[in-house]
Structure 1
């Protein structure tokens, strides 16, 4: 049986941008665009009704901006992952969005294949960061001088074992959102933007044992 398509909601205040994003997924059986929203408030309302897997969220919109919408989605307990897709990569844009609960952050000049890959990663609960965004987060935590915390090393070890964010949260008795925040900090400190790169760099730096832990 084929896998169900990833169900998308596009939130952007520019119709031409929404059309362009929709066009990137048109004809791809792995994705289904459910609806479009012109502002954050409409995105939240549509998310409540349609229950998309991933919301492609612009940040600067009228009536309700993207960060406020992300916070509202979290407050309502909606399961949709949010992938920010915006023109802006300043600290004042990136950090509030990540802290509000965004799973990933891409810029609108991203190539189609990068966007598709990021949406698929977001649907799995994995972070996807544009290189410039990862660099900004890196600067915020003063990496590479800033060492990983004990908790971050625990989570990095679980990542190396192929554990999902949800599984790591269950093992460590913390929330999935907390795990996601730690993962983003790990990416920033190691200067990477995906799990495979984080594990590779960790082994290179001797942060993880070369032999797997005993179970």
Structure 2
């Protein structure tokens, strides 16, 4: 039995019952697709608009369907699901991507984030939480298991300083330092908070938070939140 979605869902968040978050699901495991599909359809805040079982079908679905979030298996029968992220960004740049996998692999996670993914879920540990992950990324957050997040942070702690020391220096205008407020915002982005949640905690508006995030992107010369967090960690900016 699936649990019903919470009765109270703030009207300023994406995923209202009258306008649910639209999802494209790509997985070559028919049973897994069924499990995820049932969870998404059981929550009135998410709407499954299409399914695909291969890279080829996924590319076709990306072109044919309007959607907000793509859930894609990392390994598909005819290729890598990660290749769909870049294709999706070229066709539907406002859509978000969540990678799903049967295992936690640090290098794969980092590569997925570098390509523009905003979530990485391990199948066996996320039953019952796919709608939650979709809603989280649709509202500006990131979705990753706490265990994997801790491992990645420890990896940054161990390798960040040496990587930063050997990173090629950019021109001065490209390495403009982040302000203290921007570092504060970036730390909260790294923790998975949405713009609205960051604004509430810092006592500023969500619009101001987004202005800070755009400034962070410009200073670090990145395009996604995941890229900003990784670059800042490697360069020792926080």
Counterpart of 1:155 (choices 176, 182, 192) is 182
CA distance in 1, matches of 2:127, 2:17: 23
Deviation at 1:155, TM superposition (A): 3.5
Report Cα offsets for 1:18-44 as digits up to 9, x if no partner. Answer: 001011122321111111111233223
Which of the numbers 212, 217, 225 marks the counterpart of 1:168? 212
**Could you state the TM-score of these two structures normalised by the residue count of structure 1?**
0.72
| CA drift at 1:166 | 4.8
When residues 143 and 39 of structure 1 are mapped into structure 2, their CA distance, relative to the original with a 3 A threshold, is same
**How do 1:22-41 residues align onto structure 2 when only pairs under 5 Å count?**
22-41=37-56
Alignment gaps of 5+ in structure 2: 1-15, 162-174, 189-197, 201-205
Structure number with greater Rg is 2
Give secondary structure in 2 for the equivalent of 1:142.
Answer: helix
Aligned mates of 1:12, 1:121 — CA distance in 2: 21
CA deviation profile, 1:159-203 (whole Å, cap 9, x unmatched) = 543547754343446277244422466799xxxxxxxxxxxxxxx
What is the Cα deviation at residue 107 of structure 1?
0.7
Of 63, 68, 75, which aligns to 1:48?
A: 63
- Give the 4+ runs in structure 1 shifted more than 6 A: 185-188
CA distance in 2, matches of 1:82, 1:153: 30
Residues 55 and 118 of structure 1: is their aligned pair in 2 closer, same or farther, counting only changes over 3 Å? same
Q: What TM-score, normalized to structure 2?
A: 0.66
Of 57, 63, 71 in structure 1, the residue corresponding to residue 78 of structure 2 is 63
RMSD value over aligned CA atoms? Answer: 3.4
Distance in 1 (CA, whole Å) between partners of 2:230 and 2:130 is 18
Structure 1, unaligned stretches of length 5 or more? 189-206, 208-215
Paired positions, count: 190
